[in-house]
Structure 1
Amino acid sequence: MPKRRESVRWAFVDYIPTDLEEGTNYVAAEFGAVVHRCLEGCGEKVSTPLSPAQWQLYFDGETISLTPSVGNWGLPCKSHYVIHRNTVIWAGPWSDRAVAAAAHSDRASVERHFAPEPLHASRRSYIRQVLQSCFHRR
């Protein structure tokens, strides 16, 4: 079994390659995705969608950081790590209860991020006034 990684490389790509090289994080910015093989060494493909509600990628010109942590709870290895300036910081395991709570929170965050903004009463009132002035017959 391959060894657990302590550091990563990165590659900015137009498309995610079919064959992923161990230890390389492929960044397809146009598609908002970072894909790599699990850093535990199990070889499974890991995809982290980029968005303010999910993962954020930081590139300082030399290194990458990916936040928040990557918890591969659905994989047999159940690995958990943070990538900070190309260094893999291994995090401890989570209980099933903690994983479920985090998954619930993550779903809520994504739903909030992609939900349409509510039309506030003051804006509704303004729109109503504009429409009335446009269509009001004198």
Structure 2
Amino acid sequence: MRTTITHKFVETVPDHVEDGIVYVSLTYATAVHRCCCGCGHEVVTPLHPKQWSITFNGEAISLSPSIGNWSFACRSHYWIRAGHIHTARTYTRAEITHLRADDQVLLDQHYAHRPQRPPDDPTESSPKWRGGIKAWFQRLRRP
């Protein structure tokens, strides 16, 4: 398990995600890094009020809340705080199931109360936005 991590602010995440770097795309409200345990899996953390948030202290970033890679074989769990990795305890399968259900309720509530954009809002049909999301999903599908 690594103990430190750096960051790069990018427009889009590169095709090759290097170990030890969190790539932060403010444009697409996403941070991506390789799992800090060393297993090599890409970890995608959507920056969203009900998911992860990022802070930058002028030198390093922090992600909140913790990152629980429960879908990976490693099941690693850690915090990124000011560029340092802090290992957290491993959750049981029951705890993971409960947390995922709670997270889904929060997201459902958030989107149920979200005001709809007017149909003529140019951000709804922005080719840049659609192209970025499409490229991101294509990257996730690659082996």
Equivalent residue, structure 1, for 2:41: 44
Unaligned runs of 5+ in 2: 116-143
Identity over aligned residues, as a percent?
37
Q: Which digits, 9 at most, give the CA deviation of each residue in 1:69-118, with x for residues without a partner?
A: 00000001000000000000100100000000000011111111122359
Q: Is 1:72 the equivalent of 2:72?
A: no
Q: Which residue of 2 aligns with 1:109?
A: 106
Q: What TM-score do you get using the length of structure 1 for normalisation?
A: 0.81
The equivalent position to 1:86 in structure 2, one of 83, 86, 97, is: 83
Unpaired segments ≥5 residues, structure 1: 119-138
Give the distance between the partners of 1:16 and 1:113, measured in 2 at CA: 27
Opposite residue 18 of structure 1, the aligned amino acid is D
Count of residue pairs the alignment pairs up: 115
Tell me the amino acid that sits aligned with residue 81 of structure 1: Y
User: TM-score under structure 2 normalisation?
Assistant: 0.78
Residue of structure 2 aligned with 1:30, choices 23, 27, 50: 27
CA distance in 2, matches of 1:110, 1:7: 31
Higher gyration radius (CA): 1
- Return the match for 2:9 from 12, 16, 20: 12
Q: Deviation above 4 Å: which 4+ runs of structure 1?
A: none
The one-letter code matched in structure 1 to 2:19 is E
The residue that corresponds to 1:123 in the other structure is: none
Aligned partners of 2:113 and 2:102: how far apart in 1?
19
